[in-house]
Amino acid sequence: MANRKNEKIGLKRKFVTETMVGDIKKKVENGTLVPGDPLISERELCNEYGISFISVRRALKELEEMGLIEKKWGKGNFVKKLPNHLELVGVMVPNMTNPIFNEYFQEFNLQLAKFNCSAALGDARNNAKNMLNLVDSFISRQIKKIIRFPNILSEEEKIGRLLGKQGIHNVIVNDFWTEQPGLHVKVNEKVGTEQIMAHLWDLGHRKIAFIDYKHEIRKNIFSVYREYLKERNAYQEKYILTEASPIFPAMLEFMLKLKGEVTACLTPYDLFSVYLIEELKNKHGYRIPEDLALTGFGGIREAAKPSISLTTVRHPKEEIVRRAIALLFNTSSDEEASIVIQVKPELLIRRSTIGDKYQENGEGSPVSFETQCLPVSGRDT
């Protein structure tokens, strides 16, 4: 009996140790922790994983034996600097809770490895102070190259000037709203929006809503939406929501008010449309797309789930990342020229606009702008 009890205790100790080891190992592998980064203190590790000091030290010893960390007496534990990581490249994102930035970061980490580099994550969490703190952190770690996604509009030029003053070379990815000079790689939003609008129009939709939380954020998408409908005498301001707060409850309330009036809705973020599909289907009895066709923008993996099956404009992340890295390594911070590279997106047509006509095939097949779409009966013409 005593042997069984001791065996259970041993298994429990092994489990809690493996949990911490596995988690830290994953953070090192995906770039959340990079060579030279300090781990939090042993006491904080105890609190984070809900384990004892003994278990924490056992896990740290295992990580050290695996060659992932090193202990510096009097300073703490650090991610070990590996010889094949010759350079750190900072990647600043607005918020890693948004899956599209998570997917972009994974792609940067993957492609930077080909250059013997490691991606150092900087998550601003949609906070201006955090943005400045991240720059200070990169400077203290002697990071000289940064990829950054715009975040707080009022701070962008300040961040650009600060990086230039420090001699930090940087490339800006998907800046759709500022006019700051520099090196840019972005998805061509205008082409993507034209693809979506042509698709919805060909399906017979004439009353199409548009939702965003701030007008100036995705102004290119809204501009194409507006002009496309104006040219066809189908533009109506009452179908537009561009100042919504809090965004998710506000856009749900907005769409419910338009029930039976609009037949389709375009949002500039997959997350918005995914939320609307789940809420309208599961809580309000909507049939998608019979009662409302929905489209998104971004192409996050969640949008491809069979329960969502969202028609969306996919960012060609692999190409965007490849071009951003090429700009970063093939130019220098001394050069003053501005370069803007626009990458054509892909329209993925799924169940949220064509219903049962869609055949599930994983990620879906890219659809060109010229693709002829099947009309849906029952729409105003």
The C-alpha R_g of the chain, in whole angstroms, comes to: 24
Q: Report whether pLDDT(353) > 60.
A: yes
Total-model pTM: 0.73
Place 93 in a pLDDT band, splitting at 50, 70 and 90.
very high
Question: What CA–CA distance (Å, rounded) separates 286 from 307?
Answer: 14
Q: With pLDDT > 90 as the criterion, what percentage of the chain qualifies?
A: 56
Closest alpha carbon to 157 in 120, 127, 188, 131: 131
Place 83 in a pLDDT band, splitting at 50, 70 and 90.
low
Q: pLDDT (tens digit, 9 = 90+) per residue, 303-319? A: 999 999 999 999 999 99
Strand partners, 265: 209, 294
Which of 26-30, 119-123, 326-330, 344-348 is predicted with the least confidence, judged by mean pLDDT?
A: 26-30
Question: What CA–CA distance (Å, rounded) separates 170 from 151?
Answer: 15
Q: Report whether pLDDT(374) > 70.
A: no
- In whole angstroms, what separates CA 158 from the centre of its chain? 23
Question: What CA–CA distance (Å, rounded) separates 352 from 93?
Answer: 29
Which of 151-165, 201-215, 301-315, 353-367 is predicted with the least confidence, judged by mean pLDDT?
A: 353-367
> What is the pLDDT, as a whole number, of residue 216?
63
Ranges of beta strands (E only) in 84-168 are 87-93, 117-123, 145-148
Question: What CA–CA distance (Å, rounded) separates 34 from 20?
Answer: 17
Place 158 in a pLDDT band, splitting at 50, 70 and 90.
confident
Domains of the chain plus CATH, in order, are 2-79 (1.10.10.10), 87-187+318-343 (3.40.50.2300), 189-315+345-367 (3.40.50.2300)
> What is the pLDDT, as a whole number, of residue 342?
95
Ranges of beta strands (E only) in the chain are 69-72, 76-79, 87-93, 117-123, 145-148, 169-173, 183-187, 208-211, 240-241, 264-266, 293-298, 311-314, 339-343, 346-348, 366-367
167, burial (CB in 10 Å: exposed 0-12, middle 13-18, buried 19+)? exposed
Place 183 in a pLDDT band, splitting at 50, 70 and 90.
very high
Instruction: Select the more confidently predicted residue: 96 or 115.
Output: 96
The overall average pLDDT reported for the chain is 85
Question: What CA–CA distance (Å, rounded) separates 346 from 344?
Answer: 7
- In one-letter notation, the amino acid at residue 227 is E
Instruction: Give the neighbor-by-neighbor strand order of the sheet with 264-266.
Output: 240-241, 208-211, 264-266, 293-298, 311-314, 346-348, 366-367
Q: Report whether pLDDT(65) > 60.
A: yes
Q: pLDDT (tens digit, 9 = 90+) per residue, 196-245? A: 999 999 999 999 999 998 766 788 999 999 999 999 999 999 999 988 78
> What is the pLDDT, as a whole number, of residue 376?
32
**C-alpha dist (Å) from residue 177 to 174, 183, 189, 194, 291:** 9, 15, 11, 18, 33
